[in-house]
Structure 1
């Protein structure tokens, strides 16, 4: 049941006087529950509880942590239709999307449970002592990883399950041995509270220490800033806009003890399409990309917001076909009136720049919080000359850039900020000429796709979901897949240590 209260460890709390309601974007009305925003007293209590829980939780065995993560997955499933209804009511997304995202969230939890059920993931290193080595003896050295401490996770607006309360950041931090404090996204506070209740039940059933998880509500930066600045917090996970992610990063870096912020932020995900691919299968590519641009109303961090090709006699026909197919797809609802307003503002900003032409845009009156998808185009020269055209338009929009030749195409890629993904659509005959493009993309993105679409992020060990700034705040780490756990641990070496004092995973070698 949704209460509108905060979870301070396993205790429901509502000390505050400030509240908010979520919005049903399809009906454009407020939902009924009032969510009481956390006070500084509650933030303090949650942080202190997390710090005390860490002393115990960091030493919990991998098998016990696996049982905890699996129990979370089971408790989420127990919520059944109540949770699905909250998701659709607060997001405007369809039930099928809710079920799919819930399935992904369950899979993530179980993947981390499998990972930590043994110690292999720690990558322990052993160097035996050589006491008679000349000119100096060598000590026994053993290296492992240890969890950082309490982690604050900010829920994402566009993934109420998979990148929020029990999403990848929370699952990986708990797997690492770090207590988690979730700051719920205000757009889906009810959904978030229900998932939080599942985590609390799982913690109690598996004997985890009180404070291993807390859940706080709060709009704007007040609650988030207080959490990031708290001395007991040792790391932050964030998925959202560049402005918010950078603000959190700046706060964390200015602390007396700076802490890492693993922020996954903006990306326009360039797609390079060769002229030969357009000539051979332009219509099929246009159909595929019209679907990719508009899926989920374009509200994905991997939405293909930039398409680059080399201009020839078929380029304009392809762009027009892509535009026609895109706007022929029925308009969809965005997550929130504020996200719709942001889309409209940014789309207007890009299309108002010199040389940018709107090729097609849905016209006419739309339902509440539904938006008009659009395709625009611009020359390579204009794109290179104007960084304002490079900005992300979060929604069903893509800009097609027409380069004059391959050299300019490579220059366009090199001029981009860091991106999550880059895609190459090409024919077999193109492969020998793609080396410069691949090299340029490798320097700017975290994942390169060949003859596919960037939307859709597989949860598996080989996935890297991150990239050079501003795609993420630290390009060395992924926020998807089991390697996400390495954000929340640090290496530590033990030199000439008595066996009895070593961590369990270092004793048997």
Structure 2
């Protein structure tokens, strides 16, 4: 009996994968059982077909009005909202995370918000940064890339970071680029449903259907080939450091911008004044942040650094009680518990000790809530090994001997998405020493709050120095800034007014903000300002 595989989305149609090399099924993490639908591992024929269709769609997109992109993004958001219950139920089956508490109330609204904010950015056009120099008759703005954007979605956010619906997708489409989404094999049915709604939204708004395509899974070597292809203009990736670096090497060799979010331990410094005043409250916040989503957030506080003493020991006891009392949550993949066991073994080999937890448990994919500790001196001897990310409900407590050891720990930090400092009375001098060191190592610096909340805000930076991301100058959350990753800078020198994009024409009929002779204005250019044409 021939195995029935779910179709891939290529060139505006659902079609059988051509000569798939293998197949796979997702699992229910709560029970460990395989789900019913079977999906193809695509081979080069599918990749080539998707690339060519996207390449042709890129040409078409450049000729379409911006309003068509905005209408597509808004209609897609409406469809996700309309079918949110069905989407959430499927996502719960594939991830073990609650449909109502996680998806209906949090992640789906966030995803819809991202798409709508992207549509608003398309209409407002501030992301294009129109710039005019009347003296030299030079004009510049950001526009779409000349090619295809490939987006690799992660396992932990099946909506908000999905390759066919999340922030990278919204930013790439807003900039005017076609997207080939590589779904994550942990939630293929959720991705298939989303891609179907994207296709319907495209048809309903006149958006090129081939601008949104999706493949479920690829052999590793084909992923490398994909990001190296001449038709690919940029890549967005969220996932493991190992996978990200392999793809980045291929993209770098081919000269392709590669925007990767890979790993982060998100250090939290708790200074003595804060420990003395509110150790129990901070322990509550730490436990909640470390175990939300079973610790599978990229901003999970995986490293807590404080000066050892009675208050630090009290904090560790409070945290330990909370970790031990709470049931183990569900992890996203079958491999996740084994990866955590290997990670714990790696940390203990480097000098850490297990305070509580440290083992896989059943049923399904679970791992005990886990705390480890290490002295500041041991941390300074093996900082790289002891900053290994453990993607789950785990964290390492670093107990420094004194202030000097604490700020030396800040000096050896790797690049991270976030860094947090809790402070209280009398901590200002120490804060002044620690904060500049942390500031250089993180994308987002927080005071007196845990880092797991990532607001969809124009002021948000969800990025950071390597190895948190591959480029510290960009964010994957927050519009319009996120759009510029997938944009090219166009300059026009002495080009006649009627041949310019509308954003740069003298009349400014769009009424948008423009930087004219180093001053921001919405005014049209006065006749004397425009060069004779």
Cα 1:364–1:398 change in 2 (3 A) is closer
Aligned 8 A contact 1:43 1:226 in 2: no
User: Which residue pairs with 1:462 in the alignment?
Assistant: 459
TM-score, length of structure 1 as denominator length: 0.94
Q: Which range moves more in the overlay, 333-342 or 173-182? A: 333-342
User: Which residue pairs with 2:13 in the alignment?
Assistant: 11
Distance 1:187 1:442 in 2: 35
Residue 336 of structure 1: SS of its match in structure 2?
coil
Matched, 1:346 2:343: yes
TM-score, length of structure 2 as denominator length: 0.90
Cα 1:364–1:235 change in 2 (3 A) is closer
Distance 2:263 2:471 in 1: 13
Q: CA deviation at 1:388?
A: 1.3
**Residue from 323, 327, 331 that aligns with 2:328:** 331
Distance 1:226 1:142 in 2: 37
User: Which residue pairs with 2:529 in the alignment?
Assistant: none
Cα-to-partner distance string for 1:241-274 (whole Å, 9 max, x where unaligned): 111111110010122xx10000011000000001
**Residue from 80, 98, 120 that aligns with 2:103:** 98
Cα-to-partner distance string for 1:331-353 (whole Å, 9 max, x where unaligned): 11100111221112112221233
Distance 1:147 1:91 in 2: 35
User: Aligned runs of 1:444-459 on 2, under 5 Å?
Assistant: 444-459=441-456
Distance 2:229 2:438 in 1: 38
Cα 1:89–1:434 change in 2 (3 A) is same
**Residue from 41, 47, 52 that aligns with 1:43:** 47
Distance 1:364 1:61 in 2: 53
User: Which residue pairs with 1:112 in the alignment?
Assistant: 118
Distance 1:104 1:3 in 2: 31
Distance 1:362 1:327 in 2: 11
Matched, 1:302 2:305: no
Distance 1:142 1:428 in 2: 53
Cα 1:286–1:205 change in 2 (3 A) is same
User: Which residue pairs with 2:213 in the alignment?
Assistant: 214
Matched, 1:358 2:354: yes
Aligned 8 A contact 2:361 2:367 in 1: no
Q: Which range moves more in the overlay, 71-80 or 41-50? A: 71-80
Residue 235 of structure 1: SS of its match in structure 2?
strand
Q: CA deviation at 1:365?
A: 5.1
Aligned 8 A contact 1:24 1:91 in 2: yes
Cα-to-partner distance string for 1:457-497 (whole Å, 9 max, x where unaligned): 00000000000000000000000010110100121211111
Aligned 8 A contact 1:16 1:37 in 2: no
Distance 1:219 1:299 in 2: 24
Aligned 8 A contact 1:291 1:326 in 2: no
User: Which residue pairs with 2:91 in the alignment?
Assistant: 87
Gaps of 5+ in 1: 130-138
User: Which residue pairs with 1:244 in the alignment?
Assistant: 243
User: Aligned runs of 1:174-253 on 2, under 5 Å?
Assistant: 174-253=173-252
**Residue from 49, 52, 56 that aligns with 2:56:** 52
Q: What RMSD, in angstroms, separates the aligned Cα atoms of the two structures?
A: 1.6
Aligned 8 A contact 2:92 2:98 in 1: yes
Residue 250 of structure 1: SS of its match in structure 2?
helix
Aligned 8 A contact 2:272 2:427 in 1: no
Matched, 1:128 2:131: no
Aligned 8 A contact 1:4 1:190 in 2: no
Q: Which range moves more in the overlay, 80-89 or 199-208? A: 80-89
User: Which residue pairs with 2:530 in the alignment?
Assistant: none
Residue 310 of structure 2: SS of its match in structure 1?
coil
Q: CA deviation at 1:433?
A: 3.5
Gaps of 5+ in 2: 507-524, 526-533
Q: CA deviation at 1:280?
A: 1.0
User: Which residue pairs with 2:30 in the alignment?
Assistant: 26
Q: CA deviation at 1:364?
A: 9.2
Q: CA deviation at 1:79?
A: 2.7
**Residue from 362, 373, 380 that aligns with 1:377:** 373
**Residue from 473, 484, 487 that aligns with 2:485:** 487
Structure 1 runs, 4 residues or longer, greater than 3 Å off: 362-366
Q: CA deviation at 1:42?
A: 1.7
Q: CA deviation at 1:60?
A: 2.7
Distance 2:416 2:229 in 1: 31
Aligned length: 496
Residue 91 of structure 2: SS of its match in structure 1?
helix
